[in-house]
Structures are given as structure tokens and as C-alpha cells.
Amino acid sequence: MAIVTPGVKPASALLATPPSSWLGEWAAFAARARFADLPAEVAQRTRLALLDCIGAIAAGAQEGEVQALAARMVLREGGGDAPIIGFGGGARPGTAAFLNGTSGTMLELDEGNQYARGHPAIHVVPALLAAPRGDGASFLMALALGYEMGSRVGIASKLNVAMHPHGTWGTLGAAVAVAKLHGASAAEFRGVINMASSLGLATSRNNMLEGGTVRNTYAGVSNMLGLTVWDLARAGFEAERDGVATIFGQVSATDFRPEEMVLELGTRWEVARNYFKRHAACRYTHGALDALARITASTGKLDPAQVASIAVETYLWAAQLDSTAAPNMLAAKFSIPFALATFIVHGAATVPAFRGPARENPEILALASRVTVDEDAAMTAQLPGLRPARVTLVMQDGTRHVAEVTTNRGDTEDPFTEAEVREKFHELTDPVYGRDRASAIEGAVMGMGPHTEASALVELLKS
């Protein structure tokens, strides 16, 4: 009897359906892509993305949970040659990739891509650092390609609204990058892409809203699985013929648009459309923080007790971050009321502004309770290209201050300079490595190319 349940196809029908044409084009592109094909500005942006990730990982690795987790895992499994950034020494590749991916998302300071609606680089860099091969040019090419794959799946599909984007299409990015580093053929890329599509996580968005720090491990799992996919492919494991279309068109996402996977492929590089972050909080808070910064630039430092109320109007996803509760650091970073209150007290949304003392500060908590957050439908309509916010601050004497931004500082529309990105790197890594070692790491990253070895960077990170 034929199966007639809507959305369910028998095996004969599946096998009679040709796979998406984009897949063959993408696999062939991935196999032939060379570092020399990258425009100079794309290559430089890739270096900056790598530098930014290393800084975020090194600083995030200092958090107590990561230190405890790394110690437990290394004690159980023994050491290895892959670097555990910010911890010292090395571990087995999968363990190092997992720990570095986890550290990189702890502080909410890793780069991202607004069009993909996620953080591509932190899903790729730890896997590559755990399996370095060849020269710096090969490493950068693998990073740019993995970034491209993850980003384009994020652009081409619409994740279920209950899902957090970390740990989903990022596994594809890690797997493609590792495959490129190992010189995969077009046929191998096809298998890697299909296999990786089935190894993403079923993530919950509620973790970020409730302070569920398991969310910080999602990118770590993706990097670990990216390494595993290559092993599976070379060992002879197989996957369905059109995995991306199935998973990101029906299972974890909908509205998969295959044309986006190949639109301007090879000429429009997503890493060149990325953003960098300076506020140590969820990107959805940044519009409001940038607007508040405009106000304080004109008023000078505000007395929190003299602030009667703060009203924020912004787009839908940012408007979700309306809780004043900050039971842990992650929850604080996903609270617009807390982020604005701690910004006023500390003068900036720095890493310490979200740590325990700040979350226990009665002055900050009282001010956060006077912040309201609402959606403006017209602002939501400007997604994904813009991330607008309007802040209205009213003082106890009735004085009103209003500021509005259309996008976040650091986005492609309002980018940070290379000097600002490098300054951020030193702010994060100097306390971990010391200025001289941090400068050596910076030099190794920014000097990466055909005449350098990727292993040199790994040794600097490990020692």
C-alpha cells in the first residue's frame, strides 16, 4: 500500500528525486578553491576573525566553569598536542576543539554574521586549531570556506524559533573546514556536507533567556563533531543524498532556499560581511547600549539614583530580552535592563560589568528594575540588515534624553577599524598571556600566508 501521509515519502520516491543541484556546484567549488582566489580584503578579514576568536577563547577560558571542565577532561583523558587556549598545555583534538569552542562563547564577545543570524567563526576556528596541517594560506582558506558554508546555510534557511542558532549549521562549517584542510575531493565534500547536516544539535533558545549555561557548550560540540565527520567520511560512512535540504528545510528549520547557497559564490565572501563585538553581552543588547552610549557621551557619567526610567524600543528578538533577573553571567548578558544599568554604573559593558559583584550590586539591580523593553514593529521589519533601537532616558527632574541607532557598532554598516579589533584582542589576551606573548600570537595570526606554518601558531597557543 502506498504511503499517503503528507510530508512522508517512501524510499522509492526519495531515491527517484534528484539531489539539489547546488550541492554539486558547492562541492566542486570547495575542492578547487585556493588561497590565491581570495581577494586581499577577504584574506585580511579572515585573519581578523581568527584573531578575534582566539581573544574570545583565551578570556573565556578563565571562567571558573571552563577551568574546572578542562581540568576534569584532561585528568580523565590525558594530555595531547592540540592547544587548550588560555589553559596551558594540550589535549586530544576532540577535547581541545570542544573546550575552545565552549570558552569562545562564554563572554559573548566572539564575532558573528548578521545575515546568517549566528556566529560562524567560533564554530570553525577551534576545529582547525585542533587539526592544523600545512601552511598558513591553507589554514586561512579552510577557515574562509568553513565560514562560508555555515553562514550560507544560516542565510538559506529559517531556524525554528524555539532553537538557538549555536550548534546547528555551525557543524557544517567545522566539517567543511576540516575537510578542506585535508585536501578533500569534490566527492568527499559532498559526503561531508550531507553527513554534517545530520549532526547538528537540537538546541533550545530558552537556555539563553534563562541563563542555562549549557548553551555555551553548543559551539564546542560543533567543533568536536566537525573533526568527527572527516573521520566518518574517510572510514566509509555515508549519509543521505540531500541532507542539508532535509534538515534545514524540514527538521530543524524551514523555508530552505537552495539558490542562496550558490548566489555569488566565490565573489561574495560572508566573512567579509561579518561583525565584531565590543560590548560583552548578547548582540541583541547592542543597539540599546549604543544608543545609551550616545546619551552618556553628551551628558557625561550619569548618577544612577537620578535616573527615573529608561524605555527601550527595538526589534522583536531584542525585545525578548526584557527580564531584570540576572542569576548568573549568561542571564545578565541576555538582559537589556541589566546591560543598560551596569553600563551606566561601570561606564561600559565590559566583562567585569557582568560578573558576580555587578550582579549583586543593589544600585544596578534597582536601576534595572526601572528599565522597560518593547518591540517596535517598524524596527523588526528592518531585520536582518539593520538592528535598530531607541532609548528614552528620563531623569528624576523630568529631563528627557532620547537617542536612536539603526544598527550596531561593529556591523558592516558601521564597522570597527582593524586597529580597534586588534586593541580588543590585547584587552582580552594580555591578562592571560602577558603583552609579549599576546603580541607574538597577534603577529603569527596577522602574518599568516603561504610562507608561514600553521603549527607555529598552535605552539604559541599551547605553551
Max CA distance (Å), the chain: 77
Taking a C-beta distance cutoff of 8 angstroms, is the pair 9, 111 a contact?
no
pLDDT of residue 11: 81
pLDDT tens digits along 63-97:
999 999 999 999 999 999 999 999 988 999 999 99
Beta bridge partner(s), residue 313: 374, 390
| Residue 200, C-beta contacts closer than 8 angstroms, at least 6 positions apart | 167, 168, 169, 170, 171, 172, 222, 247, 252
Residues 436 and 397: their CA atoms lie apart, in Å, by 50
| Closest to 169 measured CA to CA, from 95, 119, 107, 212 | 119
pLDDT category of residue 323 using cuts at 50, 70 and 90: very high
Stated length of the chain: 463
Give the global pTM.
0.95
pLDDT tens digits along 152-171:
999 999 999 999 999 999 99
Q: Which three cell numbers stand for residue 59?
A: 578570556
Residues 187 and 27: their CA atoms lie apart, in Å, by 7
Taking a C-beta distance cutoff of 8 angstroms, is the pair 103, 66 a contact?
yes
* pLDDT score of 15 more than 80: no
Q: What is the mean pLDDT of residues 300-314?
A: 97
pLDDT tens digits along 23-79:
999 999 999 999 999 999 999 999 999 999 999 999 999 999 999 999 999 999 999
pLDDT category of residue 7 using cuts at 50, 70 and 90: low
DSSP string, 236-269: T----TTHHHHIIIIISEE---THHHHTTTTTS-
Exposure of 39 by Cβ count < 10 A (0-12 exposed, 13-18 middle, 19+ buried)?
Answer: exposed
Within a 10 A sphere around the Cβ of 300, how many other Cβ atoms? 6
Phi, psi of 322 (to 5 degrees): -105, 0
Residues 434 and 95: their CA atoms lie apart, in Å, by 25
pLDDT of residue 337: 98
**Pick the residue with more confidence: 423 or 11?**
423
DSSP string, 1-53: ----STT---HHHHHHSPPPHHHHHHHHHHHH--GGGS-HHHHHHHHHHHHHH
Residues 448 and 141: their CA atoms lie apart, in Å, by 11
Q: Which three cell numbers stand for residue 202?
A: 537540537
pLDDT category of residue 131 using cuts at 50, 70 and 90: confident
Q: What is the mean pLDDT of residues 302-330?
A: 96
Q: What is the mean pLDDT of residues 120-137?
A: 94
Separation of CA 417 from chain center: 19
pLDDT category of residue 5 using cuts at 50, 70 and 90: low
State the average pLDDT for the chain: 95
